Amino acid sequence: MSRNINISITEPSDKNTIHINDLASIINYSCDSIKVACLEFLPENAHGQVINILLSKLKPLGKLIITINNVTSITKNFMAGSMSYQDFLTFFQNKQSLLSIDSLYTFIDFNTFDIIHINQEEYFTTLFLERKQL
Is pLDDT larger for residue 110 or for residue 1?
A: 110
Structure-model confidence comparison of residues 66 and 123, the more confident one: 66
Give mean pLDDT, residues 96-122: 74
What is the band of 7 on the pLDDT scale with cuts at 50, 70, 90? confident
**pLDDT tens digits along 9-50:** 777 777 778 887 777 777 677 888 888 877 766 766 777 788
Domains assigned to the chain: 4-131 (3.40.50.150)
For a pLDDT cut of 70, what percent of the chain falls above it?
76
The mean predicted confidence, pLDDT, of the chain is 76
The answer to whether the beta carbons of residues 65 and 127 sit under 8 Å apart is yes
**According to the model, what pLDDT value does residue 1 have?**
47
Residue 73 confidence class, pLDDT cut points 50, 70, 90: low
pTM for the model stands at: 0.66
Cα-based angle 13, 34, 20 (whole degrees, multiple of 5):
55
More confident call, 36 vs 69: 36
Nearest-Å Rg of the Cα atoms of the chain is 15
